[in-house]
Chain A
C-alpha cells in the first residue's frame, strides 16, 4: 500500500476510461468512459490526501468537486442525448457529425 501503487491503479482506470471514451460509438457507453476517468481521479485524490497531505482538507474537497463534476456530467450528458435523439433519432456518436471540420 504505497502512493505509487494507488496512483498506478488510478492511472490504469483513467487510461481505460480514455480508451472507452475514444472508441465507443454509443453515446451512453462514451459517458461510461468519462465516468471511469473521473473514477481514477477520485482514487488519485484520495491517495494524494492520505500519503502526502493528510493534515489539510484540500484532498477531501477535491473529491467533493470531482463527485459533483460526475453528477453534472451524467445529468448534462443524458439531457444532450435526449435532445439529440429527439431532434434526429441519433444514438451513436458517428451520427452526430455536423461540427466535423
Chain B
C-alpha cells in the first residue's frame, strides 16, 4: 500500500516536473525542474530495490544539473527568468509527433501480453551487478570504457580554442607560432 502511494507520488512528480522544464520562464528553473524529475525517477528506481544504481544516478544527476546551470549562465539569455521567455519553434508539429509517440507507446504497453515475473532477485543486487560487469558483461564494460575515453578526447578537441595546428600550421612546421599576441622573450 505504502509503495503504491509512493509510486504514484513519484511518478506524477517525475512527469509533472518533466513537463514544467519546458514551461517555466527561466532556464535556471528549468534545470532544477529537470533535477526534481530525475530525483523522482531515482525514487522509483529505489522503490524497485536498486539501491546502488539509484544512488549513482542521484549523485550523477545533481552534479550534471549544476554543470548545466553553469553553462546556462555562460550561453543563455534570461537565466534568472525576470521576463517571460518563449523559445519554441514548430510547436504544433512537435506536439503531434510527441503525442503520437506517447499514443503508440501506451497502446503497446497496454495491449502487449507481458510475461509473468520470472525468477527471484539476487540477495545482493550490487554484488550481482558488479559480478556481471566484471564477468559476463565485460564486453559491455570495455565498450563503455573506450567510448568514455573517446568522449574525453573529442570534447577536449572540440572545446580547445586554438590548438597546435592553428599555431604552427597543418604540418606543424611553421618557424614561428601564429599567435594573436606575441609573447616570450622576442625570439
Contact = CB atoms under 8 A, between A and B. Distances in A.
Chain A interface SS verdict (over half) = helix
B64 A70 contact: yes
Interface in B96-144: 97-99, 101-102, 105-106, 109-110, 114-115, 117-122, 125, 128-129, 131-133, 136-137, 140, 144
A65 B140 contact: yes
Interface string A3-24: 1111111011111111110111
A67 B14 contact: no
B22 A24 contact: yes
A49 B48 contact: yes
Interface in A42-84: 42-43, 46-47, 49-58, 60-61, 63-65, 67-68, 70-72, 74-76, 78-83
B177 to A, nearest CB: 19
Nearest to B118: A53
Interface residues of B, number: 80
Chain A interface size, under 10 / 10 to 19 / 20 to 34 / 35 or more: 35 or more
A14 B75 contact: no
A53 B76 contact: no
Interface in B144-181: 144, 147-148, 151-152, 154-156, 158-159, 161
A52 B117 contact: yes
B90 A22 contact: yes
Nearest to B11: A9
A1 B30 CA distance: 29
B9 to A, nearest CB: 12
Interface of A: 1, 3-9, 11-20, 22-29, 31-33, 35-36, 39, 42-43, 46-47, 49-58, 60-61, 63-65, 67-68, 70-72, 74-76, 78-83, 85-86, 91-94
Given A19-B22, A28-B72, 10 more contacts: A11-B102, A12-B15, A12-B102, A16-B98, A26-B76, A29-B22, A49-B48, A51-B114, A74-B64, A74-B68
